[in-house]
Amino acid sequence: MPLHNTCKLKAKPSSPIESEALHSNGQTYVFPEVSRDSQAVYRTIHDQLVLDGNSQHNLATFCTTWIEPEVERIMDESADKNMIDKDEYPQTAAIEERCIHMLADLWNSPEAASTMGCSTTGSSEAAMLGGLALKWNWRKRRRAEGKSIDSPNLVMGPVQVCWHKFCRYFDVEIREVPMEGDRLLLTPEEVLKRCDENTIGVVVTLGVTFTLQFEPVREISMALDKLQAETGLDIPIHVDGASGAFLAPFLQPELIWDFRLPRVRSINASGHKFGLAPLGVGWALWREKHDLPEELIFDVNYLGGNMPTFALNFSRPGGEIICQYYNFLRLGKEGYREIQSECSAMGRELAVKIAALGPFEIVYDGVDGIPGLCWKLKDPASSPFTLYDVADRLRDRGWLVPAYSMPPNREDLVIQRILIRHGFTRKMAEELLHELNRTLAHLQHPAHRPDRPGTGAGSHNHSGR
């Protein structure tokens, strides 16, 4: 295949034997010595990828698995665009900037036209940027007061692993509120028990990974307002809106969770989840300019022009950001509301039908959270199967419906979860219910009951993430 006019890759056409040899496992981890025919290599890789699961049947992932043909075309046209090289690709940079201010407007920033934000490779990177800003601002305040900066801590509920990474990587004590009994979310009371002068902030999750529910941002903000009035401690909130920040504005516009609360200083979101963009884009936004410390912004000029950068990554693709902009223009609030509402309604309907099957108790029914549902066994001790058995059987039938144990202190609780995303149709829901009925019939039949000592959390590795 010609790479440039001045550099052409010469490769002999592969014979059938050579093409077949590409499938050999013997040389899988050895860098090839020779060039090969492009079509033969393509076919080899294409045939391997067929072995991957059907992404439309992956009900574990929060990420986009269906995109419009126009988005595919934009991705193809943008394959060479480097998001960091704003001097070379000024229009791509302008599109990123428009997206930031559109999101600031959507999330009710008081400085929507001028506030700071950036795209990232996903919401995990964006979350870490939010955490770093909290730490730097806390440290600046402590130094101004002549106090120690040795023991920063961050308060949060049951969180996705990115927050564990942040606290370990950036030397912050994690104060993660464990689940207790029927309390599976962060509450104002539990937040106040853990806050002190070394608390850099509180992370409130708008769509908990484990149960899909929204944590009460407004109530926690009000509790921190009261704490400040009584003690003088001014503790900011970062909202982890990985999924919820692209849901609440359309499904629950009356819900107060965003920059309308002055204590909410930053928000992260994942464009490639319910933002409906292709994989590889997240967003970090701050309420006002001064909420992003200047120390976290770097100016570089070695790509042809002066430009600020404050993402953790440097070179990264611009196509996903352009496709995010396409979705904003294509759908608008009306389109997002229609899509998210349909997904939410399907989650609620599935919750009713799965509860009617008999063995399951619904933990989250799809109301006032992420589109989807989750359930547990009504009586695990007497059940002839576990939820892990259900997940394994469904996987054999082509459906990925994860079962996983909950975080501390509810490791005893195993639940199963379904995410409803754009592209999941009512016909697919009917097929899933049919397979779930078949699975239950299979597992409840004496001849097919799994060997109980070999089942359960100890013999599986379903993280559900």
Same-domain pairing of 424 and 455: yes
Q: How high is the pLDDT of residue 11? A: 55
- What average pLDDT does the segment 32-58 reach? 90
Asked if pLDDT for residue 1 goes beyond 70, the answer is: no
Same domain? For 304 and 438 the reply is no
Collect contacts of 305-309 with beta carbons under 8 A, ≥24 apart: 305/86, 305/87, 307/84, 307/86, 307/87, 309/84
The Cα–Cα gap between 461 and 391 comes to 11
Residue 450 placed within a domain: yes
The more confident residue out of 415 and 301 is 415
Distance CA 410, CA 401 (A): 21
Residue 104 CB neighbour total at 10 angstroms? 26
Contact 261, 282 (CB under 8 A): no
Average pLDDT of the residues in 233-245: 98
Q: Residue 17 — very low, low, confident or very high, per pLDDT cuts 50/70/90?
A: very low
The pLDDT of 141-155, averaged and rounded, is 97
Is residue 114 in some structural domain? yes
Those residues with Cβ within 8 angstroms of residue 222's Cβ, 6 or more apart along the chain or in another chain: 188
Average pLDDT over residues 401-413: 95
Residues 326 and 405 in one domain: no
Q: Is the pLDDT of residue 283 over 60?
A: yes
In this prediction, residue 18 carries a pLDDT of 52
CA distance 123 to 271: 8
* Residue 314, pLDDT above cutoff 60: yes
pLDDT band at 54 (very low <50, low <70, confident <90, very high): confident
On whether both 41 and 186 belong to a single domain, the answer is no
Specify the pTM.
0.90
pLDDT at 21: 54
Higher-pLDDT residue of 239 and 90 is 239
What is the domain extent for residue 40?
2-52
- At 287-297, the pLDDT tens digits run 999 999 999 98
The domain tally of the chain equals 3
Last residue of a domain, one of 309, 330, 351: 330
Least confident of 12-21, 49-58, 165-174, 343-352: 12-21
pLDDT at 348 over 50: yes
Closest residue by Cα to residue 284 from 254, 319, 242, 320: 242
User: Cα dist. 11→41, 44, 52, 113, 278 in Å?
Assistant: 11, 16, 29, 53, 33
